[in-house]
A = this chain, B = another copy of it.
């Protein structure tokens, strides 16, 4: 067993997937969620061996504590559990932003507790304790920003993450936040925006948008269906990096918009040819499938 007792605080998509994925690699799994209904579900479907009405009770005696709540709730949670943490335990989180989490959580944690901020780069548009599945992290990156945490504690957590199928890498919180602004946060905001535009149109009805959503818009709606609380916190806490990318995006979009207006087909063709090469790189890096129907089963 890599850890004897794991406390999952928050029992949404990520924590419930972790519970499924870490079974057999850890001893006891206990949990806490604010909602009594979520706690009951977690027991009913066997996510947790025990649930507690408070986070403070849940972390008692745990050698691994996972903070799996929205980024905006991390600071208050850390303050609440700090007096109850076992000496020498490891605390990690699964927030999509790292600088803000470090700033909110680290000041509360007592000496001798090992804080290893983390970010599993995996997800679906579903949330809640029933949305988890054991293979969510398989072949996905789990980024850690351990700072000067002792090597042994980082290695132990890495062992568990790899046992759940993830690939693990370490970087600084600053660099992490820049990377995710590009590959995840800005694309999400853009998808939300496009879905909102469609919702406002007078000449095309919402039911037409829904009926005729081809691959382009359909993929956007999938992104734009993610958990609103989580994403609100992401944008508020990774503000600078996201605004930098959105500024660049607007400039780039205007150049393409102008090419369309001017009828500059060569510019468009060259641009689209370059973006295609990036896609090839992603398939070669194993981050997506090349199956011609995107691996989706045909729904009749």
A residues sitting closer than 8 Å to B (CB atoms) are 72, 121-126, 131, 133, 135-136, 138-141, 143, 175, 178-180, 182-201, 203-204, 206-226, 228-229, 231-233, 235-236, 239, 242-243, 245-246, 248-250, 252-254, 256-257, 260-261, 263, 265, 268-269, 271-276, 278-282, 285-289, 291-300
Contacts and interface: CB of A to CB of B under 8 A. Distances in A.
A204 to B, nearest CB: 5
A139 B299 contact: yes
B292 A198 contact: no
B223 A215 contact: yes
A138 B298 CA distance: 7
A287 B295 CA distance: 15
Interface of A is mostly: helix
How many copies the complex holds: the figure is: 2
Contact of A216 (B133, B216, B223): B223
Contact of A274 (B140, B199, B291): B199
Contacts of A298: 135, 138-139
A131, A135, A218, A223: which has the most chain B beta carbons within 10 Å? A218
A239 B260 contact: yes
B243 A273 contact: no
B215 A123 contact: yes
A285 B210 contact: yes
B296 A183 contact: no
A192, A217, A226: which has the most chain B beta carbons within 10 Å? A217
A127 to B, nearest CB: 10
A212 B183 contact: yes
